[in-house]
Amino acid sequence: MYMAKSKTPGPTSQSPLPLTPPVFHILLALADEERHGYGIMQDVAWQTNDKLQLGPGTLYGCLKRMLAAGLVEESDERPDPAMDDERRRYYRMTALGRRVVRAEAERLAGAVTAAKSRKLFAGGKA
């Protein structure tokens, strides 16, 4: 299973697209604000209607690779004083990450348009 996945280019390879679903949703979660791990997980669950629950291993494995690829970076600021915990790490999207997630969203939108034109997809309800 792992080998099969690595055949599709991950974010670390030359061409980062297509992104794996966890990576794409993590980038989406970081699009408008910096978040810590639990915040990312909650936002991804919200985005996907609880379909994608990121486990700790998946989340931090992805973050490790995304940090290495320069898609995200660790933030020193503490943007959420209510939830703040000294030891929590916050992550923010880099300019590269923003470009990549935009390209991925456009790629997906293209695929959706194609699916619609073949009457495979009504839009709104999948």
Q: How far apart are alpha carbons 42 and 13 in whole angstroms? A: 28
Among 61, 106, 107, 110, binds another protein (CB under 8 A): 61
Output the six-digit token pair for 33.
Answer: 């604000």
Q: How far apart are alpha carbons 77 and 86 in whole angstroms? A: 11
Cβ neighbour number for residue 70 with a 10 Å cutoff:
14
Q: How far apart are alpha carbons 100 and 98 in whole angstroms? A: 5
Q: Does 2 bind another protein (CB under 8 A)?
A: yes
* Total interface residues for another protein by CB under 8 A: 21
Residue list 14-33, contact with another protein (CB under 8 A): none
Q: How far apart are alpha carbons 53 and 81 in whole angstroms? A: 25
- Residue 58 contacts residue 22 (beta carbons within 8 Å): yes
Among 63, 66, 71, 93, binds another protein (CB under 8 A): 63
Q: Which is nearer to another protein, 89 or 107 (CB)?
A: 89
Residue 57 Cβ vs another protein, minimum distance, rounded to whole Å: 3
Q: Which is nearer to another protein, 50 or 95 (CB)?
A: 50
Q: Report which residue type is found at 17.
A: L
Residue 53 Cβ vs another protein, minimum distance, rounded to whole Å: 6
Residues in the site for another protein, rule: CB under 8 A?
Answer: 1-3, 37-38, 41, 53-61, 63-64, 85, 87-89
